[in-house]
Amino acid sequence: MAVNINKGTALSNLSLTPLIDIVFLLLIFFLVATRFAEEERELDIQLPDASEAQPLTTKPREMFINIDEQGRYFVTGKFLTLKELHPVLEAAYVNNPGRASVVIRADRKCDWEYVVAAMNACKKAKIRDYRVTTRESSA
């Protein structure tokens, strides 16, 4: 014997329009709130001095050290000696303490000692996140 179950009509009359309206309102709210948070950081104000203040850290930007075939160091398109490279790396560490990142790109024909010297300069500047890049082999 078959049993008939009366499911009712409550679900058939359910309208999704108010739910969609609420979702759009929440989306607009979060977009506007995010924009205000960005504008607060962009205001041109003079901040007071404090002896224990820490610099405002931003998202870490990778610094690229390019080494050509002759072992010359290039950072942001400028030729640097190994002695000039160290203060640049220290500045990167000071701007992002503990979060500075360095990518070392060396020519395949350059001597490995130049790459090791760049890695050593990173260590002296207290930068822990450094890596040597290669390109994917086509064979």
Give me the CATH topology for the region 62-132. Nucleotidyltransferase; domain 5 (3.30.420)
Q: What is the pTM of this model?
A: 0.55
Q: List, for the chain, all residue ranges whose pLDDT scores fall below the cut of 50.
A: 40, 43, 45
pLDDT given for residue 26 in this prediction: 93
Distance between CA 8 and CA 12 in Å, rounded? 9
Strand order in the sheet with 101-106: 78-80, 73-75, 62-67, 101-106, 129-132
Q: Where are the beta strands (DSSP E) in the chain?
A: 62-67, 73-75, 78-80, 101-106, 129-132
